Amino acid sequence: MSANASTRILEHAESLQMHSNFLLGARKLYEPNVIWLAPARSIHRVGREEVVRHLLREAGGMHDPEFTFLRRSGNDKQIIDEFAVRFVFAGEGIDNAPVAKGDFVELKRVRILELHAGKVSIETCIENWTVLLPNAGLRPGTDHGD
């Protein structure tokens, strides 16, 4: 394995760890019986621990994620959080992803967080997936790893 490949793997691990730490820290923001929905992918999760497990699994499916935060607004009953994330899809971890392993994609997600007593009771994710470069990586001999 080349030094360049080793560096990329370490950077990916660091990026994933930062994202995972964020998700684990966010656990306390969810009600115990929170509902998490991604209607376009027919996903429905219930319960704080199941939701956090699901989000950690999704994070693992994003190789080299780059987040761009677009909009955040809210009040005491609802928060709207909109962002785009570009990544190479690892081929697993994101249930019903409308992309193929190795595709370089952009996922735009609008999160609608409904609040109850200051905690998230329902999170609905409206998603738009775009393949920016088909079969871009995660193949032997590419810049994205072996």
Domain boundaries of the chain, sorted by first residue: 3-133
Residue range 57-84, pLDDT digits in tens: 999 999 989 999 999 999 989 999 999 9
Whether the predicted model's global pTM rises above the 0.75 cut? yes
Phi, then psi, of 102 in degrees rounded to 5: 90, -10
Contact 47, 32 (CB under 8 A): yes
Angstrom distance (rounded) from CA 115 to CA 8? 39
How high is the pLDDT of residue 85? 95
Among 52, 115, 62, residue whose Cα is nearest residue 84: 62
Return the axis-axis angle of helices 3-26 and 48-60, rounded to nearest 10°: 160
Q: Side chain identity at 61, as an amino acid letter? A: G
Give residue 27's pLDDT band: very low, low, confident or very high (50, 70, 90): confident
Give residue 17's pLDDT band: very low, low, confident or very high (50, 70, 90): low
SS3 72: strand
Q: Which fold has domain 3-133?
A: Nuclear Transport Factor 2; Chain: A, (3.10.450)
Q: What is the DSSP letter of 22?
A: H
